[in-house]
Structure 1
Amino acid sequence: MFTKQRIAVIHHSIRCGILSAFGIYIVFLVRTGTLVQYVEPGLAVYVKLSAMGLFATAIYQLQSAFQEWQGYSAAACDCNHEPSRSVAANILIYGLFVLPLALGFLF
């Protein structure tokens, strides 16, 4: 069975992957010139800046995963939200973020 530490590492890693994928998708849309098909041209600058924020947040999640892996827990300061214990709930929650990504990359 998974320990609490290993579950935290897995969740941080999944969050890092999802945030990175959203950032990569925005960069892909910018590189292919199709970003203006999805957002107003005046807002394109802010969407590009949001990709930088997504990458920064992904790096933070990766750092949190490494800290959990090394035994330093953010839960000690009581400033971390614990994920659900239900596997089905976690699949549903992460699926809500992965489904639009998958559709975006496929189409």
Structure 2
Amino acid sequence: MEQAAGRVLVVDDEPNITDLVSTALGYEGFEIATAATGRAALEQVATFRPHLVVLDVMLPDLDGFEVARRLRQEGRRVPILFLTARDATEDKVRGLTLGGDDYVAKP
């Protein structure tokens, strides 16, 4: 059995985005878990232990900024890639300041 390239948690409340990102990463050999809410994301990080979190900002309960803040507060060093429709400079600065490793605006 071939070993996965790594584990990625994709967090987005839009199923089409989750499916697209998951399919692309799965095709490249990554093991994928998904979450549609901030609370579910925090639970998945604890159980799935991802090597990367792809995180939307706009989620129905805890926003992505709060998820990132809590992960860093817990001492989790997993890289966080914000993938979001919020493209204002203030949002990018906030995401990176809270511990995000990169911030990419959805097209």
Normalised by the length of structure 1, the TM-score is: 0.26
Going by fraction, where is strand more abundant, 1 or 2? Answer: 2
Going by fraction, where is helix more abundant, 1 or 2? Answer: 1
Normalised by the length of structure 2, the TM-score is: 0.26
